[in-house]
Structure 1
Amino acid sequence: MSDSAEAIARDIAAVARISAVPSLLRLICQNTGMGFAAVARVTDGTWTACAVQDDIRFGLLPGGQLDVKTTLCSESRAARRPVVIDNASLDPLYRDHHTPRIYQIQSYISVPIIRPDGTYFGNLCAIDPRPAVVSDPRTVTMFTVFADLIALQLENEDRQEATESALVDARATAELREQFIAVLGHDLRNPLAAVGAAAEVLIRSKPETDVVRIGERLRATTRRMSRLIDDVLDFARGRLGSGMGLHFEPVNDLGAALGDVVAELREANPHRAVTEHIAVDTAVRCDRGRLQQLLSNLLGNALTYGAVDRPVSVRVAVEEDALVLAVSNHGEPIRADDLPRVFEPYWRPRSSVPGGGLGLGLYICAQIVLAHGGELQVASSAEHGTCFTARLPVAGPAALA
């Protein structure tokens, strides 16, 4: 146990926060007839009063210290058992001991305070210049029980302090996350927009030149970076509790909006075949942009992990009262033990190559579908390929209430 002034002050404050201690000390004095009782913090080199009940004007206040070598608490600490004296003048063991003589006391009791983890804190003790019967089992048991209660309360104080410290750290972490979101939302998007504009200028140069090809590559990279930023922003907002920011309204042209997503990814992957069957002939209450994001993530995932010589299929239709959106591809199936994990954040299959993404796309897809009151499922086999299927209520999430 540390003897530093900071550690001593911390322990004095911990005892002071235990509201029952003053009552326990008063009860000790009343039941034993002794005039002074204290909770003491005891180390190899210090004896410090943390709480006192002084009815005999002994003169020691909380924070006051005695030379530990002049006390019997050091002996109790070493043996980890009570030291009890009814009448020092008649006690064969302590009648010539220096402690009763120095402090002019006759009766004395000191019981160790040991925390639940076995560490020693100090002693619960009482003294009086007159003899008192304190060696009877009832009195010793009372002191022992009170010492155990104080030890338990000290343990609870430590746990509460640790919890409060963790909460402070959590708040600091939340603030850092919010700052991180601000950086992503502003400081990264602005230079990314400049790169995208430069790519468009290069693409409009003379056709069939290396400059145009460089511009197209820059534009593809810019789009990919923008999607990564969107994914991180959505994930961070969701974890911070502010949600993904969905706006629900009846959308009459959802089929065309989803068709635009397919066309965009076809353009970005000119060497891949994408088949589509989109038939949405009714208004769907949804967030148009989020469903476009859903299809974009699912289709992008299929193009990334699907076999390059097999087409990727997109099917969107209204079946009864549900919008069904399915994206399927052929290629190496997802392992059976990985299927339950595909919608976890930061999860990526073992076959992923470095730089392929952050592993947030499917997690965000699941959150979008969940926010719409729907369900996103995946099935994967070598025979039938991999298919992600989202089912959302046409009337929106409110229809489920």
Structure 2
Amino acid sequence: MVNDLEADVSAVSRIDAVPAILEVICRTSGMGFAAVARVTEDRWIACAVRDDINFGLKPGGELKVETTICNEIRASRKEVVIDHVAEDSVYCQHHTPAMYGFQSYISMPIFYPDGRFFGTLCSIDPSPAKLNRPEIVKMFRLFADLIMFHLQAQDKLELAQDNLRHERDMAARRERFVATLSHDLRNPLAAIDAGAEILKMESLGSRGATALQMIQRSVQRMVALVDDVLDVARVRLGTGVPVVRRNILTQADLEQVIDELRSAWPDREIRTAVAISRDVPCDRSRISQLFSNLVGNALAHGASDAPVHVEANCRDGVFEFSVANQGTPIPADMLETLFEPFSRHSNSHQNSRIGLGLYIASEVARAHGGTLHVSSAEDGTRFWFRMPLSQEAENDIGDNAGHDRSDDKANAD
């Protein structure tokens, strides 16, 4: 209960309008003291105070609740207005005015929307005042309602913030769980792959060799999926896609990616116009991953009887490449979410991934200070990546140009 009362006092003190309300009350009514009080059965606490008569009470200060008229208002639930105590038939002999030395008094109850009593908006002065007028009473009533409105708004805001914190905490827990699970899946996959490599050295029949090949392809696919999920978890947890910009990308690296995809898609044509006239400072593994994702994506979703066009060059201090394919255009509403996780823009039977390739590609582009865009119309779909070639990135390579992360290839979405 004590903590609740302290929270109520603090809540009133955070309402920016309260000091202005108390000033208006004093100036309009001619009263020298005004306060917002939290009143319970056993406590009277000043939440906010304007004191021009040196009454001596400050925010957080208390009066004995039984000595106050506010305690009676809590019981009666009605306002009290006194113009002149000495001439008032009800309060001329009352102990409260005599104890605190005031002659004029007004106090308006403040109620919660559900009818519960919060406290009062009250004002006193040692001299008589003309308070029992409709405009004064209505002003107090309006300000009492306004104070409660702000208190309720604070409660709703705090509840929303608590819910948001809870949701963020739960989301972070889920992301950490996914990251941990994905990391732990690497060990059994590595064991399966190692076992498959051992079996390759054995004499196997055609069925055994075919089964072993299927196992290794499945392992490679699982590793790629795990890597994708790990990358997404890193981004969602705020660490971002890990990038090591202490190596370089060459034309040979992109040609190697093209060769790998041609092997994986032997019935498809990939036409290239790759002319990289200089070394490109970047995380070679990640840019190759981005390149592979885009080309593989075009192969998976493009028309099977039309070639995929790939262009790459360095021009005007910018490294860029584009991938274009023919086929059904991507709907406009899907273009808006295409680079979000788990977004899939085709019902093709070849689209068997979980929709992370383009999202990871966009994060790799972002991590390099680059941009990734898409356009799609009847004449084809085109993705293009652009990255500034900064001098700082080149200098950062230094003697570490040969230090390279292990390739982290990921097939296209």
Does the pair score TM above 0.5?
yes
Matches of 2:245 and 2:256, distance apart in 1 = 20
Matched, 1:214 2:211: yes
1:389 aligned residue = 384
Q: Which of 274, 281, 286 is the aligned partner of 1:285?
A: 281
1:325 aligned residue = 321
Matched, 1:242 2:243: no
1:258 aligned residue = 254
Instruction: Rate the CA distance shift 1:393–1:146 in 2: closer, same or farther, 3 A.
Output: closer
Matched, 1:194 2:166: no
Q: CA deviation at 1:284?
A: 1.9
Equivalent position SS for 2:11? helix
Equivalent position SS for 2:256? helix
Q: Which of 77, 80, 85 is the aligned partner of 1:83?
A: 80
For residues 121-161 of structure 1, what are the alpha-carbon distances to aligned partners after superposition, in whole Å with 9 as ceiling and x for unaligned? 43123579x99436266976885687577557646754774
Q: Which of 101, 107, 111 is the aligned partner of 2:108?
A: 111
For residues 93-113 of structure 1, what are the alpha-carbon distances to aligned partners after superposition, in whole Å with 9 as ceiling and x for unaligned? x73x9x986868786421244
AA partner of residue 382 (structure 2): C
Q: CA deviation at 1:254?
A: 1.7
Superposition pairs of residues 296-311 of structure 1, within 5 angstroms:
296-311=292-307
Matches of 1:310 and 1:208, distance apart in 2 = 38
Matches of 1:287 and 1:141, distance apart in 2 = 70
Equivalent position SS for 2:363? helix
Matches of 1:47 and 1:126, distance apart in 2 = 21
Matches of 1:373 and 1:181, distance apart in 2 = 27
Instruction: Rate the CA distance shift 1:71–1:340 in 2: closer, same or farther, 3 A.
Output: same
Matches of 1:11 and 1:161, distance apart in 2 = 13
Where in structure 2 are there 5+ consecutive unaligned residues?
A: 395-413
1:40 aligned residue = 38
2:408 aligned residue = none
- The 8 Å contact of residues 306 and 332 in structure 1, kept in 2 or not, is answered as yes
Where in structure 1 are there 5+ consecutive unaligned residues?
A: none
- The 8 Å contact of residues 32 and 133 in structure 1, kept in 2 or not, is answered as yes
- The 8 Å contact of residues 30 and 129 in structure 2, kept in 1 or not, is answered as no
Q: CA deviation at 1:297?
A: 0.9
- The 8 Å contact of residues 290 and 368 in structure 1, kept in 2 or not, is answered as yes
Equivalent position SS for 1:357? coil
Matched, 1:363 2:347: no
AA partner of residue 300 (structure 2): T
TM-score normalised by L of structure 2:
0.67
Q: CA deviation at 1:88?
A: 6.5
Q: CA deviation at 1:39?
A: 0.5
Q: CA deviation at 1:313?
A: 3.9
Q: CA deviation at 1:192?
A: 2.8
- Structural RMSD (CA): 5.0
2:400 aligned residue = none
AA partner of residue 296 (structure 1): S
Q: Which of 320, 339, 347 is the aligned partner of 1:351?
A: 347
Equivalent position SS for 2:192? helix
Instruction: Rate the CA distance shift 1:41–1:396 in 2: closer, same or farther, 3 A.
Output: farther
Instruction: Rate the CA distance shift 1:300–1:354 in 2: closer, same or farther, 3 A.
Output: closer
2:403 aligned residue = none
TM-score normalised by L of structure 1:
0.69
AA partner of residue 342 (structure 2): Y
**Number of aligned residues:** 376
Percent same amino acid among aligned pairs? 37
Matches of 1:146 and 1:221, distance apart in 2 = 71
Equivalent position SS for 1:190? helix
For residues 271-328 of structure 1, what are the alpha-carbon distances to aligned partners after superposition, in whole Å with 9 as ceiling and x for unaligned? 5554545443432222211211111111221232223454444343445654342323
Equivalent position SS for 2:259? helix
Equivalent position SS for 2:387? strand
Task: Answer with 359-368 or 144-153: which moved more.
Answer: 144-153
Matches of 2:15 and 2:317, distance apart in 1 = 62
